[in-house]
Amino acid sequence: MEIMNLIPQNILEALKNSLSGFYGSEFVQSNAFNFLIVVILLVIICKYAKIGQKLTSAQESVKDSIDNSIKARENSIEELLKANEAAESVKEEISEIEENCDNSITALNEKIEKETDIQIENIHKNTEKIINSENKQVISELSGKTALAAIELAKKHIKEVLKNKPQYHQKFIEESINELESGLK
């Protein structure tokens, strides 16, 4: 885009008319005049191109971006602090859970040991009862067998004595009759 197209026509005409008298002079030919024209053209271009407004708008946009970045940074810092607090809280909760688990394990272990001791004691008592019962049964059986064997032995002995000494036969009969009579009274 040409610079001349940016300057309105009426301003260009006015410039030409005012400069036509000076065109041949030394001032117009000097670098100062050229510099002045460039400055005037820049001012006109800036005014019509709204560069000041665009610069202000760009500055505001940059300022807004910086403000948004600062807010985002502050929000991120807050979230980081909250996350750190949450992490600490989780660590504390884990410690509490571990402690509760240790306590539960200890309590369960003690309960199992007590129940095991009780069961062992019950087994021991039941075993003693069974052994005592078996002993009584064996003693009873042995007593019965011993009594039968003693009766058989006594019977054989009495028969032997009666066979070898017939005089005892009458004596045993008389003693048995006396015992029967005394039992009836």
Do residues 33 and 27 make contact, with C-beta atoms less than 8 angstroms apart? yes
pLDDT in tens, 54-113: 778 888 888 999 999 899 989 989 998 888 888 788 778 888 888 888 888 888 888 888
**Residue 51 vs residue 178, higher pLDDT:** 178
pTM for the structure as a whole: 0.36
Residues 6+ apart with CB under 8 A from 28: 19, 22
pLDDT in tens, 119-135: 888 888 888 888 888 88
Residues 6+ apart with CB under 8 A from 3: 41, 45
* Every domain of the chain and the residues it spans: 3-74
Q: For the beta carbon of residue 136, count every other beta carbon within 10 angstroms.
A: 11
